[in-house]
Amino acid sequence: MPWVNRPDGHRIYYRKVDPDREHPRGNIVLIMGLAMPHVWWTPQTAFLSSIGFRLLLIDNRGVGFSSLESFSMDLHLFVSNH
């Protein structure tokens, strides 16, 4: 599984989905709300990749496959993740 390792020790999970064509129509980043993992984008992922978009899906800190090393989270931490 692909992760971005943050300087503070957290691991942020991401998933790349390539389109069903050789030349993508564009790139889309899908970031779910605070309490849901990237898999909730599955219907949109299937559709958007089928019409030619390259996708990047991200699990927020402490959600899905991303780690949560502590419970001391604030806005600055979330902003630094994206």
Q: Provide the token pair at 68.
A: 């949560």
Over residues 10-27, the pLDDT tens digits come to 899 999 999 988 899 999
Interior CA angle at 69 toward 65 and 75, to 5°? 90
Q: What is the domain-level CATH number for residue 7?
A: 3.40.50.1820
pTM for the whole structure: 0.77
State how many domains the chain has: 1
Find the domain containing 18 and state its range.
3-81
Note the pLDDT tens digit of each residue in 24-48. Answer: 999 999 998 878 999 999 999 999 9
